[in-house]
Amino acid sequence: MTQKIQSVPSVSVSYAANGSSTKANAMGMRPMQERAYEKRGEQYLLIKSPPASGKSRALMFIALDKLANQGLKQAIIVVPERSIGASFHDEPLTQFGFWEDWHVEPRRNLCDAAGGDNGGKVNSVEAFLKSDDKVLVCTHATFRFAVDRFGVEAFDDRLIAVDEFHHVSSDSDNKLGHHLGAFIARDKVHIVAMTGSYFRGDAVDVLSPQDEAKFDTVTYTYYEQLNGYRYLKHLDIGYFFYSGSYAEDILKVLDPNQKTIIHIPSVNSRESTKDKMKEVEHIIENLGDWQGADPVTGFQLVKTEDGRTLRIADLVDDDKNKRDRVSTALKDPTQKNNRDHVDIIIALGMAKEGFDWIWCEHALTVGYRSSLTEIIQIIGRATRDAPGKTRARFTNLIAEPDASEQAVTEAVNDTLKAIAASLLMEQVLAPRFEFRSKASTNEPTDGFDYGDEGYQPDKCNVGFNEEKGKFQIEIKGLAEPKSEEATRICEEDLNEVITAFVQDKTALERGLFDKELVPEELTISRMGKIIKDKYPELDEEDQEAVRQHAIAALNLTQQAAHIATSGDGEPGANTALIDGVRKFAMDVRELDIDLIDRINPFGEAYSILAKAMSEESLKQVAAVIGAKRATMTLEEARVLSKRALKFMQERGRLPSITSTDPWEKSMAEGVAFLARMKAEAARG
């Protein structure tokens, strides 16, 4: 067995579980759905809401109104994969107070039909367009082929609803993004776009800025969703480092008593042993004695040491018939509310977005996922509300950098990406921020709690609105946005700005490992450059306002989290982060933007990393990053490496990248430089 895994307790949040997000109004709408329905008259609507918040049903309400009251002929629901099409099966909405039921003719849900996306299914789209039927459900692929064949004009006066909208991008290679741009340019359809994650910092923008400006946005935050559950009160997100094979260490973080989805790594990834079947077998064998497979469901039956029989769904098996039987059993609607139906699901590319298993308590993922969107989708598997389920967690197993490993630079990159994801998830799970400049004319706002002493005109106040899940924070010297677009960014898109910043490798590397760093080089210069590149249409004043709002949101969340986790005992539900922000604001003489700019945004992340990673691995990470900053030639590196070899012969150790001796540090930089060049050459 390898050394004991250490955890990075990167995010741990508590919620009130007040039941508000699960309560329906007189028409059967939950709060998010009601909020979206209020915007049903918009031609272009973007719904940004977490997994399990009810986006599918929200679309049903909106689509029925557009068909009945807004003059649209038909509604076409577009989903990324066939399995998600089940979310749009018939729903008896009138039973819960709405004025019409949701109905899709069986032949018009093409996700239920056999065959490929091209050919017959495209013909079915054509037949639907010529028919009197009102609703069609198909995959993104089928829709793309249909638009290619019939042109955008064939869809005039119809609703195009795109589920899991983050699959779209404005990149010229993204066909669906290109088609949506053409629909918007023609301006003869209505579009409803839905996503649980709209992190454009992942890759290319989803929409061009001019197209995005046409959309009205409905935002329902993770905080509102989780705070309003009935049962789930705690969510923990942790990163665990391992060395050797993950299959040996996974059981140190896998609790067989928790309902768990395990996502094993892609066979092309560094974490994979290149034999996915053996990896699954190893996990099953170490959980207990295999008892065979259930003949009906195909689930693997494993008897544990305490005499329980685990039911394990293997979605990795290459035998399509076996895998389909297991997949069908997992979707069995009669078992949806049966907690004992299955205990552990092992998957590779499946069981992510759109996969609904309310009992899942633990999403365990091996290897870093390059997309924050994918991480949010995976975490969303565990954040369903269910009776008796008070705590959920996401665990990411990541290979610890190893000096002997050829792909050491890749390992370091994965570590940095994990830290970035941790910072972003902390931001995603926190309440929203409303910043305003401190002024003598400011007054308290109805609905905000300003603490025991109430609103104080002579101080920078911190208010919190429990119902809206929103902070109101006064900051001296804060630049206010002037334009409508800058105001929208500060209100809706701060997380997207922060995503771009913390995923900027230069900022992250320097913030974590440059001991001579002046924080303003990141908070002002680097963040400023990112915002100028991201929003070139804004003038300098608005760019500065967006920068200040974004860095305030990031740094205040980090400082509050540090305060919340450094106290004695477990904080009360739903108060730790709020109390942390208030305490930070009270502990400083005056909360001003200059003070916020002087905080290293990555300081808290480094302290967590230093506790979680072995000292040797931490040095290795510092060495790789130090070498990337070093400006030296290959020949200089070879000379320094030779001197380093002599140093080791004399001292019994390699030079240290963190040494106070400039010469020793230079030798270490030369060694790290050569190691990086070698690793890059090996990867081609």
pLDDT digits (tens, 9 = 90+) for 204-235: 566 676 787 788 889 888 888 888 888 998 88
312/22: higher pLDDT? 312
> What is the 8-class DSSP label of residue 363?
E
pLDDT at 565: 65
pLDDT band for 514, please (50, 70, 90 cuts).
Answer: confident
Asked if 410 contacts 384 with a C-beta cutoff of 8 angstroms, the reply is no
Of 91-105, 181-195, 375-389, 530-544, the one with minimum mean pLDDT is 375-389
pLDDT tier at 95, thresholds 50, 70, 90: very high
Question: In the structure encoding, which two tokens stand for residue 369, read together?
Answer: 């996922």
Give the pLDDT score at 670: 83
Provide mean pLDDT across the span 283-290.
91
Q: Which residues pair with 292 in a beta bridge?
A: 301
With beta carbons less than 8 A apart as the criterion, state whether 407 and 397 touch: no
pLDDT at 82: 83
Q: What mean pLDDT is predicted for residues 585-591?
A: 74
pLDDT at position 381: 85
Going by C-beta distance under 8 Å and a sequence separation of 6 or more, which residues neighbour residue 382? 235, 261, 360, 361, 362, 363, 392, 393, 394
pLDDT at site 171 = 53
For residue 14, the surrounding DSSP H or E stretch is: strand 6-14
Q: What is the pLDDT of residue 625?
A: 76
Q: Which residues contact 53 (CB under 8 A, 6 or more apart)?
A: 21, 30, 32, 196, 220, 225
Mean pLDDT score, 334-343: 91
Q: How far apart are CA 459 and CA 590, in angstroms?
A: 8
Among 98-102, 199-203, 558-562, 669-673, which stretch is predicted with the lowest mean pLDDT?
199-203
How many helices (H) and strands (E) in the chain?
A: 24, 18
Lowest mean pLDDT segment, chosen from 61-65, 330-334, 457-461, 599-603 = 330-334
Apex 450 CA angle, 446 and 451, nearest 5:
140
pLDDT tens-place string over residues 465-477: 887 888 899 999 9
pLDDT at 573 > cutoff 70? no
pLDDT in tens, 241-274: 887 788 778 888 889 999 999 998 887 777 777 8
pLDDT confidence band for 419 (50 / 70 / 90): confident
Of the candidates 470, 22, 471, 426, the residue with the CA atom closest to the CA atom of residue 236? 426
**DSSP 8-class letter at 417:** H
Rounded-to-integer distance, Cα 494 and Cα 497, Å: 5
More confident of the two residues 609 and 382: 382
Q: What pLDDT shows up at residue 568?
A: 46
Cα(242)–Cα(249) distance, integer angstroms = 7
- Reported as a pLDDT band with limits 50, 70 and 90, residue 622 is confident
Q: What pLDDT does residue 682 have?
A: 76
Across the range 117-130, mean pLDDT stands at 89
Q: What is the pLDDT of residue 238?
A: 83
Domains of the chain (ranges plus CATH)? 20-225 (3.40.50.300), 229-399 (3.40.50.300), 428-628 (no CATH), 631-683 (no CATH)
The residue that leads in pLDDT, 16 or 162, is 162
Tell me the pLDDT band of 32, cut-offs 50, 70 and 90. Answer: very high
SS3 212: helix
pLDDT reported for residue 200: 47
**589 or 584, which is more confident?**
584
- pLDDT 10s digits, 534-558: 899 999 899 999 999 999 999 988 8
Q: Note the pTM of the prediction, 2 decimals.
A: 0.78
Question: Band of the pLDDT at 571, cuts 50, 70, 90?
Answer: very low
Q: What's the rounded mean pLDDT across residues 62-82?
A: 94
Residue 52, phi-psi category: left (phi > 0), alpha (psi -120 to 50), beta (remainder): left
How far apart are the C-alpha atoms of 209 and 533, rounded to whole Å?
13
CA-wise closest residue to 550 among 530, 564, 565: 530
Q: Name the more confident of 271 and 446.
A: 446
Reported as a pLDDT band with limits 50, 70 and 90, residue 499 is confident
Chain centroid to Cα 90, Å, comes to 30
Check residue 572 and give its pLDDT. 45
Better-scored residue on pLDDT, 622 or 129 = 129
pLDDT for the residue 543:
94
Provide the mean pLDDT of the chain. Answer: 84
pLDDT value of residue 1: 37
Lowest mean pLDDT among 106-115, 247-256, 610-619: 610-619
pLDDT at position 202 is 46
User: Is the pLDDT score of 168 beyond 70?
Assistant: no
Arithmetic mean of pLDDT, 557-582 = 66
Work out the pLDDT band at 108, boundaries 50, 70, 90: very high
pLDDT for residue 102:
97
Which pLDDT value is given to residue 182?
92
**Whether pLDDT at 652 is above 80:** yes
For the record, the structure tokens of 450 come out as 């300003």
Q: In the chain, what percentage of residues exceed pLDDT 70?
A: 89
Residue 365 to residues 222, 266, 347, 376, 390, Cα–Cα distance (Å): 21, 11, 10, 12, 21
Assess whether pLDDT exceeds 70 at residue 678. Answer: yes
- Say what the pLDDT of residue 370 is: 67
pLDDT > 90 fraction of the chain, expressed in percent and rounded: 34
Find all residues with CB under 8 Å of 103, minimum gap 6, and list them: 90, 135
* Span of 2-6, 73-77, 110-114 with lowest mean pLDDT: 2-6
Q: Within a 10 A sphere around the Cβ of 319, how many other Cβ atoms? A: 10
Tell me which range, 79-83, 443-447, 623-627, 646-650, is most confidently predicted by mean pLDDT. Answer: 443-447
The better pLDDT of the pair 345, 627 is held by 345
Q: What pLDDT was estimated at residue 2?
A: 42
Ranking 243-247, 368-372, 596-600, 626-630 by mean pLDDT, the lowest is 626-630
